[in-house]
Structure 1
Amino acid sequence: MTVPKLRFPEFREAEGWDADDLGEVTEFVNEEIEAELAGELWDETGGKDEEQKEK
């Protein structure tokens, strides 16, 4: 495996990345988008899409 040359040498001794859930570092302001991220699709009227109800 080859490792690419670092563009910023000051990061060579830096710690690794932290993996956080999106919900821990953000605040949802649109329930429709939150539902899409949860795997549910909603129609324009705010109700669950008929196609999704069947699943």
Structure 2
Amino acid sequence: MEKLVYDMKELCTMLGVSKSAIYAFMERGELKAIRGSKKILFPRKAVDDFLNTAK
């Protein structure tokens, strides 16, 4: 079963980029995220969309 959301650490590892790069993608509107009180989560669909547009 695939995960429905990824946390920052998982996404950095999966994409091979730093937290700073993830924050930059978010700031430019390239990557959608759900901001909680203590965590930022990335829905699988948002990550898939990001990867598909990056090609």
- TM superposition score normalised by structure 2: 0.23
Structure number having the greater helix percentage: 2
- TM superposition score normalised by structure 1: 0.23
